[in-house]
């Protein structure tokens, strides 16, 4: 263990609790080996190797918090079905508190089944995905239950992460309750939304990819010049303190409300194994680091290192502190922190 600021920051993550609210999904993996072509249709027959069930969506974000050493509190809803029971068990098994997971008998648990095929000595690749679950309004009694759970969990949190996959768990009243509660307590909030980021106005920091930025601003954002125009425009629309834009093989761009920006290069090889869930890792590591007192730039570099670990693994994966430490060293990202004020100091002195 070196004594660099980012390495020391990794140690501080274990002292922080993140309330992860949003759409909890169960990821189901069916693993198989290709054996021959079917006589019934021009498709490959797979010999069944096994199955795995892991938390996805907001659940993957929560287990990333836990894997990095933080404490994760889950807030969301599942159905009264076998998939919901599997998701609760998977969350608990990953070290996530599932006390904030409500059960809604009127809607099924969101489940994503991925079929992965590969030989004994080769990496398995995804060949098919089947999604189950409803996008829609959460029922009235469950809405009330989630609002009560939010009030109970917020006092225990050092940060709030809103993980929105468009399944309706983060309805407007719950979004407002969580963002207002975080602001009132002076703790950081982060939004990771696939389809409706602009509904999270006032969040401290958000983590869209560049195509999402382009869609929300209504311009192209493929080049450095275009993203440097679109990023600050979206930041202004959100009224946030910072915006971290993920750009795949081109790394990340961090924009701050004071007009400054950081370019964060990708760590590791250009070829990756699987990008599934990498955005969850970025948001989780980022908000956990900010909760631990990091400036946004250092938090983004730590999130970048964590993402470089998970994209080399199959499926929605996590990164351990040891793996992130190795990635930071390999990427030369253990540089000293700059003298900017921490987000906590900024919140204390900036009017809202």
Tens of pLDDT along 192-214?
998 899 999 999 999 999 999 99
Q: Is the pLDDT of residue 277 over 80?
A: no
Give the Cα separation of 322 and 133 in Å (integer).
36
Q: Is the pLDDT of residue 344 over 60?
A: no
Give the Cα separation of 89 and 84 in Å (integer).
9
Mean pLDDT of 226-250: 94
Give the Cα separation of 60 and 296 in Å (integer).
22
Task: Specify the pLDDT at position 218.
Answer: 87
Domain 5-24+62-110+137-339 belongs in CATH node 3.40.1190.20: yes
Task: Specify the pLDDT at position 154.
Answer: 98
Global pTM reads 0.88
Higher pLDDT, 7 or 34: 34
Are 247 and 210 a contacting pair, CB within 8 Å?
A: yes
Q: Among the listed ranges 11-15, 99-103, 257-261, which one has the minimum average pLDDT value?
A: 11-15
Higher pLDDT, 249 or 294: 294
Of the pLDDT bands very low, low, confident and very high (cuts 50, 70, 90), residue 347 is very low
Of the pLDDT bands very low, low, confident and very high (cuts 50, 70, 90), residue 270 is low
Task: Specify the pLDDT at position 271.
Answer: 65
The residues, ordered by sequence, that sit 6+ positions from 17 with a Cβ below 8 Å of its Cβ are: 70, 71, 72, 73, 156, 157, 158, 159, 291
The backbone torsions φ and ψ at residue 288, rounded to the nearest 5 degrees and listed phi first, read -65, -40
pLDDT tens track for 161-204 = 999 999 999 999 999 999 999 999 999 999 999 889 999 999 99
The reply to whether 99 belongs to the active site is no
Give the Cα separation of 267 and 157 in Å (integer).
31
> Shortest CA distance to 232 belongs to which of 222, 224, 223, 242?
242
Reported for 134-137, long-range contacts at CB under 8 A and 24+ positions apart, including other chains, are 134/107, 134/108, 134/110, 134/167, 134/168, 135/166, 135/167, 135/168, 136/107, 136/167, 136/168, 137/168, 137/171
Pairing of strands 96-104, 71-79: parallel
**Every domain of the chain and the residues it spans:** 5-24+62-110+137-339
pLDDT tens track for 19-41 = 999 999 999 999 999 999 999 99
Pairing of strands 24-37, 44-57: antiparallel
Set 27, 158, 280, 298: catalytic member: 280
> Shortest CA distance to 197 belongs to which of 228, 237, 160, 230?
237
Helices 296-310, 321-331: axis angle to 10 degrees equals 100
The strands making up 242-246's β-sheet, listed across from edge to edge, are: 96-104, 71-79, 17-22, 159-164, 189-193, 205-206, 242-246, 252-256, 261-264
The backbone torsions φ and ψ at residue 26, rounded to the nearest 5 degrees and listed phi first, read -105, 125
Higher pLDDT, 27 or 121: 27
Of the pLDDT bands very low, low, confident and very high (cuts 50, 70, 90), residue 339 is very low
Supply the mean pLDDT for the chain.
89
Give the Cα separation of 291 and 16 in Å (integer).
7
């Amino acid at each position: 263990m070196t004594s660099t600021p980012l390495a020391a920051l990794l140690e501080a993550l274990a002292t922080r609790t993140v309330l992860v609210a949003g759409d909890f999904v169960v990821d189901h993996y069916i693993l198989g080996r290709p054996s021959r072509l079917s006589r019934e249709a021009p498709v490959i027959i797979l010999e069944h190797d096994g199955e795995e069930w892991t938390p996805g969506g907001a659940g993957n974000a929560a287990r990333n918090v836990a894997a990095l050493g933080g404490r994760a509190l889950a807030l969301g809803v599942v159905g009264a079905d076998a998939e919901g029971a599997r998701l609760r068990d998977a969350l608990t098994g990953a070290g996530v508190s599932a006390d904030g997971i409500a059960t809604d008998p009127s809607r099924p648990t969101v489940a994503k089944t991925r079929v992965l095929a590969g030989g004994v000595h080769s990496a398995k690749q995804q060949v098919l995905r089947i999604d189950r679950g409803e996008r829609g309004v959460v029922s009235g009694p469950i809405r009330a239950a989630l609002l009560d759970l939010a009030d109970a969990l917020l006092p225990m949190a050092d940060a709030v992460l809103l993980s929105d996959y468009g399944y309706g768990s983060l309805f407007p009243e719950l979004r407002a309750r969580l963002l207002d509660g975080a602001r009132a307590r002076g703790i950081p909030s982060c939004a990771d939304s696939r389809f409706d980021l602009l509904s999270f106005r006032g969040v401290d920091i958000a983590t869209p990819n560049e195509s999402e930025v382009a869609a929300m601003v209504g311009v192209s954002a493929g080049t450095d010049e275009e993203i440097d125009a679109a990023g600050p425009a979206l930041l202004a629309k959100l009224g946030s303190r910072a915006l971290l834009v993920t750009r795949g093989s081109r790394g990340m761009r961090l924009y701050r409300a004071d007009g400054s920006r950081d370019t964060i290069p990708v760590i590791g090889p250009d070829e990756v194994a699987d990008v599934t869930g990498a955005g969850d890792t970025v948001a989780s590591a980022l908000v956990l680091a900010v909760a631990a007192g990091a400036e946004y730039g250092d938090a983004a570099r730590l999130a970048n290192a964590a993402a470089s670990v998970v994209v080399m693994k199959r499926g929605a994966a996590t990164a351990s502190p040891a793996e992130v430490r190795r990635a930071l060293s390999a990427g030369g990202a253990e540089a000293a922190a700059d003298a900017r004020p921490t987000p906590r100091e900024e919140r204390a002195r900036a009017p809202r």
